[in-house]
Structure 1
Amino acid sequence: MMRGASAAEWPAPLKDVFSQLFNTVTTNRSCAARLYSELLSLKSDLDDSYRSVLFRAVNPVAVAKHY
């Protein structure tokens, strides 16, 4: 998934976010929209490599349609 770092090396909060993301984004769009909102609030706390993976994992245009 992410180049240069295995999931075992990711910080625990980031693992939790990914777990929620991949468990909900394909089945519950309103939940995905809430999660995307949370990602926006975390954005400044994440380094560039984590941030780019998170935001590529959720299509913001598709999620925004379901707010």
Structure 2
Amino acid sequence: MLRTPPSKKAVDKNQLALVYQPKVNLKTTQIAGMESLLRWNRSSWNYKLQKVLCRILERAQTF
């Protein structure tokens, strides 16, 4: 029996969100750049940390 990878289910259920986070220079309080984060929103988890999401995807060999 083939199992659907968790990442595929997340895409199908529209559970992934792209979030932009500013990088702030603490000395000047100016925005020094941005980073993008892929968050997995599951009702049972809330938002998973990026490291956890990457490990799950790597194990599923989705990317």
TM range (shorter): 0.3 to 0.5
Question: What TM-score do you get using the length of structure 2 for normalisation?
Answer: 0.34
Structure possessing the higher radius of gyration over alpha carbons: 2
Q: Which has the higher helix share?
A: 1
Question: What TM-score do you get using the length of structure 1 for normalisation?
Answer: 0.32
Greater RCO, CA 8 A, separation 6+: 1
